[in-house]
Amino acid sequence: MSETVRTFPTRPFVGASIAVIRDGRVLLAARANEPMRGVWTLPGGLVEAGEALAEAARRELAEEVGLDATVVAVLSPTEIIEHDAEGRVRHHYVVHPHAALWCGGEPVAGPEALGVRWATLDEVAGLATTPGLVGTLSEAFAAVARQAAESAA
């Protein structure tokens, strides 16, 4: 879908993202496309018709950075709404993030990512990120910790 089609939408776009956790760090990608080019975020993108949210998140992870992961939890959605100078809705996305565990391999930035990095939650706080990312990551780290505790029990 081209950028012009996503600008000034008549309804929100549904997206899915994935917080892949590895050794106390989360995988981030720097956005290659507008809106928010160059800003750090989770790998993700639009959900295709007929695609489940978790499937979309894993597909986007593979497309953007060449990895797979095991989804362990669905997290709280994030709304990204931007208005132009006249107050019109320029962008509106509802993103459904997922917490996941790294399965192996090293990420490589694809065409939708300017770069990739593993970061701690403290490091993320000092980066330019998409709205609500720190809260989503806090929820993701908590979900992964719960899953680890349940697996150990």
Q: Is the pLDDT of residue 5 over 90?
A: no
What is the per-residue pLDDT across 18-55, written as a single tens digit (0 to 9) for each?
Answer: 999 999 999 999 998 877 889 999 999 999 999 999 99
- Tell me if 42 sits within 8 A of 75, measured CB to CB: no
* Stated pTM of the model: 0.90
- The closest of 40, 42, 28, 37 to 117, measured between CA atoms, is 28
Q: Is the pLDDT of residue 17 over 90?
A: yes
Q: Is the pLDDT of residue 148 over 80?
A: yes
Q: Is the pLDDT of residue 103 over 50?
A: yes
Beta strands in the chain (DSSP E): 13-22, 25-31, 40-41, 44-46, 69-74, 78-83, 89-102, 113-119
